[in-house]
Amino acid sequence: QVQLVESGGGLVQAGGSLRLSCAASGRILSLNYMGWYRQAPGKQRELVAAITSGGSTNYADSVKGRFTISRDNAKNMVYLQMNNLKPEDTAVYYCRLNQGGRDYWGQGTQVTVSS
């Protein structure tokens, strides 16, 4: 049973920073893809950033230059460093793991950016 647990969300003022963490447990394969997605009220869930087990990354245009995704394969952790946060970054942030043709999602963590 694979489980993903996010942490690090909260309330921050515009221009501030937060670091999200996602801990994966269970049977984690060496080849996988992990990503951060977000969903704001009334909007569809969207990709924020993703990273492969080899370290290749991609970002949504809206967060390039402000957010950085990283991972620690030994600890089965993925992180999202968010700098210069904006009110439009307010959303529930979800961690996603894709491996062996299956998707796993965390429960989400709320990020609220006040203006």
Q: Which amino acid is located at 64 in the chain?
A: K
pLDDT value for 30: 85
Query: What's the number of CA atoms in the CB half-sphere (13 Å) around residue 88?
Result: 4
Tens-digit pLDDT string for the chain (115 aa): 899 999 999 999 999 999 999 999 999 898 899 999 999 999 999 999 999 999 999 999 999 999 999 999 999 999 999 999 999 999 999 999 999 999 999 999 999 999 9
Contact by Cβ (8 Å): 33, 50: yes
Calpha distance 95→83 (Å, rounded): 18
Helix (H) or strand (E) holding 2: none
Query: What's the number of CA atoms in the CB half-sphere (13 Å) around residue 58?
Result: 6
pLDDT value for 31: 84
